[in-house]
Amino acid sequence: MNSTFSPFENALIGLPVSHVWRGHGSAIFVELGRLTPSTRVRRDGSIGNPLGEITLMIEWSWRIERPRSILGGSWSSERRWPGMFKKLQGTKVLGAKLVGALPEIELSLSNGLRLVSFMTAEGQPEWGLICRNDLQCTLGVRAGRLAVGELTPNISSQRTASGGR
């Protein structure tokens, strides 16, 4: 087990998937744990998505796996995404691990599905955790290694996602 990831793994296990939403392009946000209403107001006047105790953000390459096949992912028809997201909501995280020489994240869920990040372009894996719980920090990948960062007020209350397919 990666000692840097261990506290994050422990924090993720048992949390419910409370909300899943799409960011820019094929970025997805998975809100885990108790939700807090957003204070962000969009340009159209609507309120932003609620925030979980922990947010998993995957910028562009991801897939949802069944036990023996792929349900779909970032290259699936975007019309299928809401149905796939609905299958994640209400489940609990049974396991969280890092896979690959360059760390990608995999969440195993109580309904048998797995959510996996996997970068398919040059650069670094493009996923991150924003922890608003006791950890109060962020986790991502820099230079092929896990990087822990401070949770700033800007990151804590709002997020932006760039990227695409």
pLDDT tens-digit map of 81-102:
999 999 999 999 999 999 999 9
Q: Which two tokens stand for residue 59?
A: 């910028």
The model's pLDDT over 108-120, given as tens digits with 9 standing for 90+, comes to: 999 999 999 999 9
With tokens 């894996």, the residue in question is 125
Q: Are 107 and 56 in contact (CB under 8 A)?
A: yes
Average pLDDT over residues 125-150: 95
Query: In Å, how far are 70, 84, 106, 112, 113 from 65, measured between CA atoms?
Result: 4, 10, 10, 9, 6
* 91/102 Cα distance (integer angstroms): 27
Confidence band, pLDDT 50/70/90 cuts, at residue 163: very low
Task: State the pTM of this model.
Answer: 0.90
